[in-house]
Amino acid sequence: MQVKLLTNILKANKDLADTNRTIFHKAGIKVINLISSPGAGKTTLLENTIENLSSCLSLGVIEGDLQTTKDGERIAQLGVPVVQINTQGGCHLDANMVNQALTELPLEDIQLLFIENVGNLVCPASFALGEDAKVVITSVPEGSDKPAKYPIIFEKAQICLLNKIDLLPYTNFNRREFYEDLQKINPSLTVFEVSVLTGEGMGAWYSWVKKI
Amino acid sequence: MHELALAQQILHIVIQTSQEYNFLTVSKIKIKAGELLAVVPEALEFSFKIISQNTVAENAQLIVQQEQAIAQCQHCSLEYPWLKYGYQCPSCKKQGGTIIRGRDLTIDYLEGD
């Protein structure tokens, strides 16, 4: 016997993401989902952003990694409430993991929550968490072809940070190709060119974060 | 490797549906996978085979049909492959197309007894 279903497989995740969104909305919290490949600079970006903005915004962080609490410890040193999720091999955070992590955060004290997703440019794009914006970070040494190769996350993101621009003179990163591909994939994407390490270009990023 | 997570969601829905229809075995499951989800059919089939062991779906054939991401031009209404042309219409060259297909991952049907 054949049963016609037409069931959306990601519906369970989407429903939970909506639940999270309602919780965030009620608590007056804005949420940013940070997505990049491993080593693009997510955690360092977070550290610098916290140092710069914690005087004017109360921040919170959810850290996602396959294993270890290394990143969570780095963030905790800055005096910000942080929950570390270990996905035990899972390649992305899902709405359920975030929902459970919320019980460990002092939501009433947080205005802006950063969720650092597992380092991966593919899977996190498909799983909504209840965020206000997805921010994709890519870095110069990864090459200018990343938007063309992994278009889905660039299509879904509101902001793209191009990190490690201090390394531009030492690579064959092709800016023209990078922007042409992005224009094709997501014409409304805002790009900030930054070096998290030297601080170059970070002002525009901080201004955007403050306004979200 | 989000295929494993997707396979778990599929199995969950398949088991629920089997209980509703009193199926003892599920023989076939048809999946439609939108291009924007970047699903690798072989990886999804393999993941499903592993996790469906000792369930009603352990001998089920999982068929994954890829669905091309299609955008539609807002000016001339042409439908065209998004991955190739993005938001610029290949015919009238205007920007601003919208994606109309290829974002979803659905179970089309399942067969069981």
What is the value of ipTM here, to two decimals? 0.82
Q: Is residue A5 part of a domain?
A: no
> Which residues span the domain enclosing A37?
11-211
Banded model confidence at residue A203, pLDDT cuts 50, 70, 90: very high
Per-residue model confidence (pLDDT) at position A160: 98
Q: Do A5 and B106 touch (CB under 8 A)?
A: yes
Per-residue model confidence (pLDDT) at position A137: 98
Q: Is residue A3 part of a domain?
A: no
Q: Is the dihedral of CA A109, A110, A116, A121 positive or negative?
A: positive
Q: How far is CA B69 from the centre of its chain?
A: 12
Is the CB of residue A88 less than 8 Å away from at least one CB of chain B? no
Q: Is residue A4 part of a domain?
A: no
The residue type at A36: S
> Which residues span the domain enclosing B74?
3-112
Chain A residue at shortest CA distance from B28: A2
Q: Do B17 and A9 touch (CB under 8 A)?
A: no
CA distance B46 to chain A (A): 16
Instruction: Report the helix count and the strand count for chain B, using DSSP H and E.
Output: 3, 6
Cα gap A24→A110, rounded to integer Å = 10
H or E segment to which residue A53 belongs: helix A42-53
Cα gap A5→A25, rounded to integer Å = 33
Model confidence over B45-79: pLDDT tens digits?
999 999 999 999 999 999 999 999 999 999 999 99
**pLDDT (average), residues A5-24:** 93
Q: Is residue A1 part of a domain?
A: no
Reported pTM: 0.89
Per-residue model confidence (pLDDT) at position B2: 81
**pLDDT (average), residues A57-84:** 93
- Across the A/B interface, how many CB contacts are shorter than 8 Å? 82
Owner of token pair 């955690």: A43
Q: Is residue A2 part of a domain?
A: no
Cα gap B10→A176, rounded to integer Å = 42
Model confidence over B19-36: pLDDT tens digits?
999 999 999 999 999 998
Residue A108 reports pLDDT greater than 90 = yes
Indicate the range of A46-50, A169-173, B1-5, B106-110 predicted with least confidence: B1-5
* 3 state DSSP class of A35: strand
Residue A45 sits in a domain whose CATH number is: 3.40.50.300
Residue B48 sits in a domain whose CATH number is: 3.30.2320.80
- A148 phi and psi, to 5 degrees? -70, -35
Q: Do B13 and A152 touch (CB under 8 A)?
A: no
Q: Is residue A95 part of a domain?
A: yes
Is the CB of residue B68 less than 8 Å away from at least one CB of chain A? no
Per-residue model confidence (pLDDT) at position B83: 87
Q: Is residue A177 part of a domain?
A: yes
Per-residue model confidence (pLDDT) at position B96: 82
Residue A41 reports pLDDT greater than 80 = yes
* More confident: A197 or B2: A197
Count how many domains chain B has: 1
Q: How far is CA A103 from CA A17, A20, A32, A98, A107, in A?
A: 15, 11, 18, 9, 8
Residue A96 reports pLDDT greater than 80 = yes
Is the CB of residue A91 less than 8 Å away from at least one CB of chain B? yes
Cα end-to-end span (Å), chain A: 51
Count how many domains chain A has: 1
Mutation target to probe the B interface, by most B beta carbons within 10 A, among A7, A35, A150, A153 is A7
CA distance B113 to chain A (A): 6
Per-residue model confidence (pLDDT) at position B87: 87
Banded model confidence at residue B1, pLDDT cuts 50, 70, 90: low
Residue A155 reports pLDDT greater than 70 = yes
Residue A119 reports pLDDT greater than 90 = yes
Per-residue model confidence (pLDDT) at position A11: 87
Structure token digits, residue A155? 């299509």
Contact (CB, 8 A) for B80 and B89:
yes
